[in-house]
Amino acid sequence: MPRKAEAPVCSGQDMLILKRWAASKTVEVRLSERADYVLKSIEGLQDSEIASLFRTRPNTVAKWRKRFISLGTDGLYDDRRPGRPPKYPVDETLKSILELLGQTPPKGQAAWDGNAVAKELGINKNKVWQILRQEGIHLQRQRTWCVSTDPMFAVKAADIVGLYLDPPEKALVLSVDEKPSIQAAERPSGYVMTKNHQIVRGIKSACKRHGAVNLFAALEIAAGALKTKAAEKKQRVDFLEFMDQTVTGSPEDAEVHVILDNYCTHKKCDEWLDRHENVFFHFTQTPASWLNMVEIWFGIFSRKALKSASFKSTSDLTQAISEFVEAYNENSEPFVWKKRDVRGSQLRNTIANLSN
């Protein structure tokens, strides 16, 4: 008489799980089939009968029936497999990369990049880039810092930053500068598809130049609004004409504080200042033009109005500048001063010093 297989004993909770797995269309197919094996076994079918129903081997049915008896529903999952040992162990590879980055880069290169590291270590370049990304190491990104030799730098910088953070009561604070020689360049542009089927902006490398204009800009710190003037030249007389335009309309009893860099046209304006007793010039240190907040707006303006643009004349360029400023002022908001203090003492000789 043939021996009968041991029938599984199933709790109510396990029975609900088995039935849900067997009927589910979302769980793994192999998990659903194993639940069916156990359910049929609980009904009293033998391994060979179940194997015939599901067109599999009796040994397969017996394996999952026994695992369910021993481990319950957890036994129907596959055991974890060790797999093949990694070709590039992460810890060892990272250590090798960090040590290499502290050495002199290859001849002809000013700094290491991922491909040079991969070639030097003899490992796959994709693995190098993967490890660098995981560790947050960006070999091509840069941060700059300015060092002033002025012993009064902190005091002078505090004067300007103080105007941003805590201006005098009822005073108008302006950040003023110019963007020189903006080219009225005409060039065809559109969209192209690259070989890997990516759609990008296409711009002809050569352009036809139609002259240039200089842009004076005054950022009102409290409101974030702009006053601008396009001019053919950027001499002192042009600067002072712009200042006349800028301060016109401001109350005579209200102080106007103007933040400027050390460009020559901003200096030797004593005669003009004598006629405007309520206007005070504050100069950034050298080199510290980044203290002038209007530089932030110039960056926005360049990206949105000049990059990829085409102009057939300086008139077109001037009109485009005017339209951008008008649209910007409709939704202008003040910038928040949050310049991070960066010092040369923060430098480390190697990446490994920062990663450890």
pLDDT at 1 over 50: no
In eight-state DSSP terms, residue 318 is H
**72 contact partners, CB below 8 Å, separation of at least 6:** 14
- What's the pLDDT score for residue 64? 92
Name the pLDDT band for 59 (thresholds 50, 70, 90).
very high
Regarding predicted confidence, which is higher, 205 or 268? 268
Regarding predicted confidence, which is higher, 85 or 331? 331
275 CA to centre of own chain = 47
- What's the pLDDT score for residue 345? 52
Residue 4 contacts residue 67 (beta carbons within 8 Å): no
- For residues 306-330, give the mean pLDDT: 88
To the nearest whole percent, how much of the chain has pLDDT over 90?
A: 17
**C-alpha to C-alpha distance for 52 and 58, rounded to whole angstroms:** 8
- For residues 134-153, give the mean pLDDT: 77
Question: Which tens digit of pLDDT belongs to each residue from 164-208?
Answer: 888 888 888 999 999 998 888 888 888 888 888 888 888 887 788
Name the pLDDT band for 217 (thresholds 50, 70, 90).
very high
pLDDT at 43 over 80: yes
Q: Please name which of 167, 169, 171, 176 lies closest in space to residue 246, comparing C-alpha atoms.
A: 176
Identify the weakest region by mean pLDDT among 31-35, 258-262, 289-293. Answer: 289-293
**Cis peptide leading into residue 251 (ω within 30°):** no
- What's the pLDDT score for residue 350? 61
Identify the weakest region by mean pLDDT among 36-45, 47-56, 326-335, 336-345. Answer: 336-345
**Exposure b/e, 275-289, CB count within 10 A at least 16 = b:** ebebbebbbbbeebb
Q: Please name which of 68, 84, 259 lies closest in space to residue 160, comparing C-alpha atoms.
A: 259
Hey, is 1 helix, strand or coil?
coil
Q: Please name which of 266, 335, 261 lies closest in space to residue 300, comparing C-alpha atoms.
A: 335
Name the pLDDT band for 146 (thresholds 50, 70, 90).
low
Tokens of 11: 């709790």
**218 contact partners, CB below 8 Å, separation of at least 6:** 174, 175, 176, 226, 227, 228, 242, 246, 258, 294
What is the chain's alpha carbon radius of gyration, rounded to the nearest angstrom? Answer: 36
- For residues 248-252, give the mean pLDDT: 78
* DSSP-derived secondary structure for 58-125: HHHHHHHHHHHHHHGGGGGSPPP---SPPSS-HHHHHHHHHHHHTSPPPTT-SS--HHHHHHHHTS-H
Question: Which tens digit of pLDDT belongs to each residue from 337-354?
Answer: 876 554 555 555 566 555
Question: Which tens digit of pLDDT belongs to each residue from 274-303?
Answer: 888 888 999 887 777 778 899 999 999 998
Which residue's structure tokens are 């015939």? 52
- What's the pLDDT score for residue 343? 53
The secondary element (H helix, E strand) that includes residue 191 is strand 189-193
The secondary element (H helix, E strand) that includes residue 206 is none
Question: Which tens digit of pLDDT belongs to each residue from 219-235?
Answer: 999 889 999 988 888 88
Highest mean pLDDT among 116-120, 154-158, 230-234: 116-120
- What's the pLDDT score for residue 219? 92
Tokens of 204: 């002809």
Name the pLDDT band for 33 (thresholds 50, 70, 90).
very high
**123 contact partners, CB below 8 Å, separation of at least 6:** 88, 93
Residue 177 β-bridge partners: 217
- What's the pLDDT score for residue 290? 77
